[in-house]
Every structure is written in structure tokens, then in C-alpha cells.
Amino acid sequence: MRIASAVFAAALLVPAIATAHGVARGDGRFLQSLQGAAVAPLMYLGAKHMVTGYDHLLFLVGVIFFLYRLKDVVQYVSLFTVGHSVTLLAGVLGGVRANPYLVDAIIGLSVVYKAFDNMDGFRSFFGFQPNTRAAVLIFGLFHGFGLATKLQDFALPRNGLVANIVSFNIGVEIGQMLALTAVLIALSYWRTRSGFLRHAFVTNTVLMTGGFLLIGYQLSGYLLSTR
């Protein structure tokens, strides 16, 4: 059991070190050569970004970590979806351009926040429990800005812009569903074992480490990157 939880923890941490995320270079070339609506390719890119975008996934793992009922999972994930869809659409359509490093640092903060929340840190230290649904919605808004900056890196043509963003967004939701299903299966299996609650605290510490790492990575990128 110890081994299983260690593997799970390592799986959470490893992708965080592996690569910077964003739309890959070849995909970018494709986006810039677009002439109009390209529904399926944009959906694919959205899904790919979500499945390989470890920052969104870390946050979602934190959110559903202690959600046992499917109803709750659906509710919280819906709030997250509403949040990031609003800012993805508004960001790209309205031309609101956030600094990608700072937005990604806030996304890292959302992971730390959720891990701290899962450790019951707010009640222990501050004597109250902030509304968990509101937190998911608000951090969802920041995640959407992060998604928007990824698309804004490329000069998407005005022609067919709405269709392309909506396709990307739908792809994001599909990718999220796929990733969540995998995470839920792993978590459900783990919960049937006696070690889950014993290792829950450690796992959230690992989550928090991943969050801190994302913050440091993005903030130092903001300060140091010349590219």
C-alpha cells in the first residue's frame, strides 16, 4: 500500500517537472495558417491541452480528492467548467490579455490553496472554512485566463474566431472528462484500500509541493525569461 501511494504521489509530481505547457510548436504553426472555422482540430487541441496540462489536472485532483459522491463531483467540476469557459471566451473575444506567467502562477496558487484546504488548514489556522464551491468557481476563472493566453499566443484569424474558440472550449471539456475519469477510477480504487486516509495527508502535501513548484516556475519565468 505504501508503494501504491508513493507511485500515485510520484505520478502527480513527475509531469510537473517534465515540460512547460502551452500549445506545442507545430500546433502553433497550424493555428496561424488557419483560414476559417476548423472545428475538429481546435477540439483536438483543447482536449490535448487539458490531458497534458498538468496544472489544471493537479487542481482537479485536489478538488475531487475528498468528493465521494458522483453528484458532488459533477457539481464541483461544473463550477470549474463554468468559471474557465467564461474567461476563456471573454479573454480571447474581448482581447483581454493577461501575462501568461502571472496567470499560470495563480493557477499554481490554486493547487496550493486546494491542498491546504484538503489538509483542513483553514479551520486549524484561521478557525473558519472558506466556501469551497466559490473557491472552485473563482479559481476556475483564473484557469480560463490561462487557457486564453495559450490561444492568444497565436494570431488566430478573426474569420471563424468564435467557432474556433468554442471548439477549443468543447475540446477542453472533453479532455477534462477523459482525465477526470482516469483520476476518479484511480481514486475510487485507492479509497477501497485501508491506506487511503492514512496517506491522504501525505498526498496532499505532494499536491502542495507541485503547486509551489508551479508558482516558482512561473514567477521565475516572469522575472528571468528573456524569450
Partner 1 sequence: MTNTDTSIRIEVPSRKRIAAAAGIALAIAALVLVTTIFPAAYGRDPLGTGKALGLLDLYEASAGAAPPPPPATATTARPRTYKVDRSELTLGPGQAFEYKYRMDKGAGMVYAWTATGRVKYEFHGEPDDHKLAVESYETQEGDYASGALTAGFTGIHGWYWENPGDRELAITVTSAGFFTSAEELRPIWDPVKHKNRVEHIPHELSTPDK
In the complex, the smallest distance separating the C-beta of residue 217 from partner 1, rounded to whole angstroms, is 5
Three cell numbers, residue 169: 472550449
Three cell numbers, residue 222: 516572469
Q: Which is nearer to partner 1, 99 or 220 (CB)?
A: 220
Q: Which is nearer to partner 1, 68 or 185 (CB)?
A: 68
Q: Which is nearer to partner 1, 47 or 64 (CB)?
A: 64
In the complex, the smallest distance separating the C-beta of residue 200 from partner 1, rounded to whole angstroms, is 7
The rounded distance, in Å, linking the Cα atoms of 46 and 25 is 15
Residue with cell 496567470: 103
The rounded distance, in Å, linking the Cα atoms of 61 and 76 is 12
Q: Which is nearer to partner 1, 152 or 209 (CB)?
A: 209
Using DSSP, state whether 96 is helix, strand or coil. coil
What is the per-residue burial (b if ≥16 Cβ within 10 Å, else e) of 80-94?
A: bbebbbebbbebbee
In the complex, the smallest distance separating the C-beta of residue 62 from partner 1, rounded to whole angstroms, is 11
- Binding residues (CB under 8 A) for partner 1: these are 17, 20, 35, 66-69, 72, 76, 112, 115-116, 119-121, 124-125, 129, 131-132, 197, 200-201, 204-206, 208-213, 215-217, 220-221, 224-225, 227
In the complex, the smallest distance separating the C-beta of residue 150 from partner 1, rounded to whole angstroms, is 17
In the complex, the smallest distance separating the C-beta of residue 177 from partner 1, rounded to whole angstroms, is 20
Using DSSP, state whether 69 is helix, strand or coil. coil
Give the Å distances, CA to CA, from 11 to 14, 57, 61, 82: 6, 12, 12, 28
The rounded distance, in Å, linking the Cα atoms of 20 and 127 is 37
In the complex, the smallest distance separating the C-beta of residue 187 from partner 1, rounded to whole angstroms, is 13
In the complex, the smallest distance separating the C-beta of residue 121 from partner 1, rounded to whole angstroms, is 5
Q: Which is nearer to partner 1, 166 or 207 (CB)?
A: 207
Three cell numbers, residue 131: 466556501
Task: Tell me which amino acid residue 26 is.
Answer: G
Q: Which is nearer to partner 1, 131 or 192 (CB)?
A: 131
The CA angle 120-125-129, to the nearest 5 degrees, is 50
Report DSSP state, residue 192. T
Q: Which is nearer to partner 1, 94 or 216 (CB)?
A: 216
